Amino acid sequence: MNVTRLQRLFSSVRSSTITGILASLALATIIGWLTGAHDLTGMWLITLAIAGPVSFISARAYIGFRSALEQERLKVALEEQRAQILSRFIRDAAHEFKTPLTQIGVSLYLLERAPEAAQREPHAAQIRTQIDSLNALLDSILLLTRFDTADAHAYPRDPVPVRDLEQHIRATHTHPRISLQPHTLDPAHTVPVNLTDLKIALKQVLENALRYSHPASTVAVDLSRVGHFLHIAVTDQGEGITPEALPHIFDRFQRGDESHTTRGLGLGLAIARRVLELHRGRIEVQSQPGKGSTFTLVLPTG
């Protein structure tokens, strides 16, 4: 049943409710006069006896239809929101696909016209690079789709000791610029996580920090406990994020480099945020232009 039809029914029920109450009051007044109940108390008793049930039934019908109308409006609003998100996602994805495909087309054109092998190799290398970019984009989209469709209530998590988590960070992220800071956490303390997915989220955050900071700078990883939460803070020494861009930093296809001169797909931080949501945690960011950024993965310990 659509909103327009519900609105018509709602208006009809509202009119019927008002008419019913007024009619029952008029009927009660007439009966009161016919039966000789001219005093105020008698009139009120007759009015309540006749108008009360009618008003109660009418009011219940009115409330029921009003609730149904509000639910239908909410459903329509959610569907419109989903359609807008999907449309924006398709538009942004199409744009991201178009750039490497255009470069592949140009490289093929030049490749076909290069007379010697030495001149053809740079164009072939460019094609391979763009194909790798397309594959990475597809992998990220598929990964994000998997996380989007995951049920947070049935999401698998297992208790992992802090020492194991720290070892996984050291073993997985061996880039020389990444530095795991000393901490005072109890190594035997456990945190319920999906280790495979958490490593994916941390990888996205670390790659983002490496990409947008100076090649000679250090990216620090710090583990700490704040209340009932484990914090994994990733701090870089990059250019920072402008106040205008900060509220949109976790949006899909959002790039810290609007000119797209820095390599990246704009999906990494969106993937990280969704993984933290599945863990019933969150990801926070603090940044100042010219002073770098700190992304903190916040995980509940219970």
The DSSP annotation for 169-234 comes to HHHH---TTEEEPP----TT-EEEE-HHHHHHHHHHHHHHHHHTB-TTS-EEEEEEEETTEEEEEE
- Cα–Cα distance between 281 and 201 in angstroms, integer? 12
Contacts of 168 (CB under 8 A, 6+ apart): 195, 199
Percentage above 70 pLDDT, the chain: 68
Task: End-to-end CA distance of the chain: give it in Å, rounded.
Answer: 44
Provide the pLDDT for residue 261. 42
- pLDDT-derived band at 269 (thresholds 50, 70, 90) equals very high
Average of per-residue pLDDT across 287-296: 92
Q: How far apart (Å, rounded) are the C-alpha atoms in residues 165 and 244?
A: 35
Q: Is 81 exposed, middle or buried (0-12, 13-18, 19+ CB in 10 A)?
A: exposed
User: Which pLDDT value is given to residue 87?
Assistant: 64
pLDDT in tens, 188-233: 888 999 999 999 999 999 999 998 888 889 999 999 988 889 999 9
For the cut 60, the answer to whether the pLDDT of residue 263 exceeds it is no
The per-residue pLDDT for range 89-113, each reduced to its tens digit, is 666 666 677 777 888 888 888 888 8
Q: Across all residues in the chain, what is the average pLDDT?
A: 78
Angle (CA) 230-184-189 rounded to 5° is 50
Structure-token match 């941390």, residue found: 202
pLDDT of residue 230: 93
* Residue-wise pLDDT tens digits, 14-71: 565 566 556 655 655 665 555 555 554 555 555 555 555 655 565 566 566 667 667 7
Do 164 and 158 form a contact (C-beta atoms < 8 A)? Answer: no
- Tokens of residue 77, six digits: 């609003």
The sign of the torsion formed by the CA atoms of 160, 164, 165, 168 equals negative
pLDDT beyond 90 at 9: no
pLDDT band at 262; cut points 50, 70, 90: very low
pLDDT one-digit tens code per residue, 113-156: 887 877 888 888 888 888 887 887 788 788 888 888 888 888 99
The β-bridge relationship of strands 229-235 and 282-288 is unpaired
CA pair distance 183, 171, nearest whole angstrom: 17
255 contacts: CB under 8 Å, gap ≥ 6? 262, 264, 266
Residue 41 in tokens: 């108390």
Give the pTM.
0.63
Residue with tokens 């390599």: 263
Please state, in angstroms and rounded to a whole number, the distance separating the CA atoms of residues 24 and 193. Answer: 64
